[in-house]
Amino acid sequence: MKGFTELTTTKMLLALAAAVPLVVSVSAQAQDQSGYDTEGWFVGANIGKSSANIDGERIQSSLENNGFDVTSIDEDKRDQGYKLYAGYQFSPYIALEGGYFDLGDFKFMANTLPQTDFSGRTELQGWNLDLVGTLPLTERFSAFARVGVTQNKSKTRFSSNALINTAGYNDDDSYTKHKYGLGVQYQLSPAFTLRLEAERYRMDDLIGNNGDIDLYSLGIVYRFGQSEPVAAATAAPEPVQKTEAVAAPAPVQKTEAVAAPAPMATKEPQVLVLEDVHFNFDTAELNENTKVILRQHVQTLKANPQARVRIAGYTSASGTAEYNQALSERRAQAIKAFLILEGVDGGRFKTVGFGQTNPAEYEANPAVLRSDAAKANMRGLFEIIVE
């Protein structure tokens, strides 16, 4: 049975290795279709409690077959375990992860007549390679599942008094098995993610039988190159751009020309503030709510014929940079075209697209297409100066 299990696990290892190029290809296609840009390297560490299965019935049967009366078997099958790992995220849904694990050690003591002091202890460590699938549930919260292969190392030692010779049973072994698990995770920031998971490792127990060891752990993951979005989210470029427009020499000179030069030298030009408008996901078409707002802007612009307007288009983060840049430009052009149709002189407008840069709100998980943050970022802004 042990040889059959090892053969099956070896086949799983080969299948997993063969699947890696396919996973990369499918993930890349999924990223192209969805526009997600979440790939990258990460490292992490988990610590928790491990629990093993010890075949006490077989131990008791073996002792009784050798003429000992077993009154009880005390099992210590819980310990502390941990794992260290690194991986690569191919898309919001697929990652490959490998690392080192230590599941602790497990013991038993058999109480016999005559007294034998027969006991055993095994230590279990190893290396693993897992395929991890993730399912986003909310903007920051997601579930995941894993399946993988392990290269296990176990060190087993028995002891007894002179009634049982245990030297021949001590063993140091290395063998290939498999594992699987489920978990949930919460994205604390662009760089750090908190994980809670349960895993089952297939191991050999103290007496060489196939057994399971469960690890319940809490961990932290660090993703490289994910700090920049936070800076972009906290920056406030729009007011800066508006200030530059206000500080344009021509408007200041014209304002001074209207009023007495000395008193008005320090006055700023008048600025009209118009409400920004929003778009539906992945479209540059104006919806009815947007048209209502823009018609109000038309009245304001007609009442201020000296106002010149820069229309800036933006998108959410769920898209490639190239696609989002083009979409933001189309959104700005759509606003301009509508205002011209409503009777505003097209020569007063300048359009620009900023894509997914300078978001109004930070999107912790771009895979959530219609989060509140994503809706806030699918917008068009107006920068207006009255000359």
SS3 for 41-99, per residue? EEEEEEEEEEEECCCHHHHHHHHHHCCCEEEEEEEECEEEEEEEEEEEECCCCEEEEEE
Residue pair 276/376 in contact (Cβ under 8 Å)? The answer is no
Task: Give the type of residue at 128.
Answer: N
Q: Is the dihedral of CA 277, 281, 285, 287 positive or negative?
A: negative
| Cross-sheet strand order for the sheet of 379-386 | 277-278, 379-386, 307-313, 349-353
Hey, what are 165's tokens? Answer: 């010779």
Query: How many C-beta atoms lie closer than 10 Å to residue 48's C-beta?
Result: 18
Query: How many C-beta atoms lie closer than 10 Å to residue 10's C-beta?
Result: 12
Q: DSSP string spanning 285-331? A: ---HHHHHHHHHHHHHHHH-TTEEEEEEE---SSS-HHHHHHHHHHH
pLDDT of residue 283: 82
Residue with tokens 């049982």: 164
Backbone angles phi, psi at 16, to 5 degrees: -65, -40
In the three-class reduction of DSSP (H, G, I as helix; E, B as strand; rest coil), residue 243 is classed as helix
Long-range Cβ contacts of 225-228 (<8 Å, 24+ apart): 225/40, 225/41, 226/40, 226/189, 226/190, 226/191, 227/190, 227/191, 228/190
Task: Give the type of residue at 330.
Answer: R
Hey, what are 375's tokens? Answer: 């809706």
User: Which domains, ranges and CATH numbers included, belong to the chain?
Assistant: 2-223 (2.40.160.20), 235-386 (3.30.1330.60)
Alpha carbon distance 157, 169 (integer Å): 7
Alpha carbon distance 345, 377 (integer Å): 28
In the three-class reduction of DSSP (H, G, I as helix; E, B as strand; rest coil), residue 25 is classed as helix
pLDDT of residue 190: 85
In the three-class reduction of DSSP (H, G, I as helix; E, B as strand; rest coil), residue 228 is classed as helix
Residue pair 246/271 in contact (Cβ under 8 Å)? The answer is yes
Residue pair 173/204 in contact (Cβ under 8 Å)? The answer is yes
DSSP one-letter code for 268: P
CB-facing half-sphere around the CA of 354: CA atoms within 13 A: 20
pLDDT of residue 370: 65
User: Block means of pLDDT (10 residues each) for the chain, length 387 residues?
Assistant: 46 50 43 49 97 86 89 92 96 94 93 91 94 91 96 91 82 92 94 96 76 94 70 39 41 42 44 72 84 87 85 82 87 89 87 82 68 74 64
